[in-house]
Amino acid sequence: MQKQKVTSYEDLDVYKRAYAACLLVMKEIVPNLPVQEKYDLKDQLSRSSKSIPRLISEGFAKKYQKAGYQKYLVDGIGESNETAVSLNQSKDLYPSYINVETAKYLINEYRIISKQLFKLQQSWSNFTAPKVSS
Query: Any idea what the CATH number is for the domain that residue 118 is in?
Result: 1.20.1440.60
- In a domain, residue 82? The reply is yes
Which stretch of 8-22, 23-37, 55-69, 74-88 has the lowest confidence by average pLDDT? 55-69
28 contacts 45 by C-beta, under 8 angstroms: no
Average pLDDT over residues 30-55: 96
Instruction: Answer with the residue of higher pLDDT: 131 or 75.
Output: 75
- In a domain, residue 16? The reply is no
Helix (H) or strand (E) holding 82: helix 66-93
Contacts of 128 (CB under 8 A, 6+ apart): none
- In a domain, residue 32? The reply is yes
- In a domain, residue 92? The reply is yes
Q: Which of 119, 117, 111 is nearest to 74 (CA)?
A: 117
- 47-84 tens-digit pLDDT: 999 999 999 999 988 888 877 888 999 999 999 999 99
Query: Distance between CA atoms of 87 and 110, rounded to whole angstroms?
Result: 10
Residue 115: predicted pLDDT: 97
- In a domain, residue 109? The reply is yes
- 84-128 tens-digit pLDDT: 999 999 999 999 999 999 999 999 999 999 999 999 988 877 765
Q: Which of 55, 56, 33, 58 is nearest to 44 (CA)?
A: 33
- Total domains in the chain come to 1
The DSSP 8-state label assigned to residue 131 in this structure reads: P
- pTM beyond 0.85: the answer is yes
Residues of the domain holding 52? 21-124
- In a domain, residue 130? The reply is no
- In a domain, residue 14? The reply is no
- Inform me whether the pLDDT recorded for 1 exceeds 60: no
